[in-house]
């Protein structure tokens, strides 16, 4: 299995809702990442998990809450989002060493109404 699987593919939520994005990989990768990508922009790093521990938080607002239950799963819990949080949310995984590159999922298209 050489894929990163993200669910759901599309999500529409209100500003008072609570929802979660899910990401799964079975490549034995030890690092997992959340990126946010706005239209016509490059991906921006949000969080990095290394060996199931949060190692990087790029000053992301607390309405985004990551969770790594085990080495294969990564969640992003969403609460009280704003319309400007609408974006494509990408999950990626890697072996944890810089030279190998990342494997990306196909993303969750989030719309906040």
Partner 1 sequence: AQSVTQLGSHVSVSEGALVLLRCNYSSSVPPYLFWYVQYPNQGLQLLLKYTSAATLVKGINGFEAEFKKSETSFHLTKPSAHMSDAAEYFCAVSQTGANNLFFGTGTRLTVIP
107 binds partner 1 (CB under 8 A): yes
Q: Which of 13, 27, 45, 60 binds partner 1 (CB under 8 A)?
A: 45
CB 67, min distance to partner 1, A: 19
Longest Cα–Cα distance of the chain, Å, equals 41
Cβ neighbors of 28 (< 8 A, separation 6 or more) are 71
Applying CB under 8 A, which of residues 50, 72, 75, 86 lies at the interface with partner 1? Answer: 50
Rounded CA-CA distance 5/24 in Å is 5
Is residue 60 at the binding interface for partner 1, with CB under 8 A as the rule? no
111 binds partner 1 (CB under 8 A): no
Whole-angstrom distance, CA of residue 93 vs CA of residue 96: 8
């Amino acid at each position: 299995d050489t894929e990163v699987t993200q669910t759901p593919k599309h999500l529409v939520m209100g500003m008072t809702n609570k929802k979660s994005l899910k990401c799964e990989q079975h490549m034995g990768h030890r690092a997992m990442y959340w990126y946010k990508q706005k239209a016509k922009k490059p991906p921006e790093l949000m969080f990095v998990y290394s060996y199931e521990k949060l190692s990087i938080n790029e000053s992301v607002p607390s309405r985004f809450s990551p969770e790594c239950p085990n080495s294969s799963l990564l969640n992003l819990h969403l609460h009280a989002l704003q319309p400007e949080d609408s974006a494509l949310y990408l999950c990626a995984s890697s072996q944890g060493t810089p030279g190998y590159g990342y494997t990306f999922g196909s993303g969750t298209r989030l719309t906040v109404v």
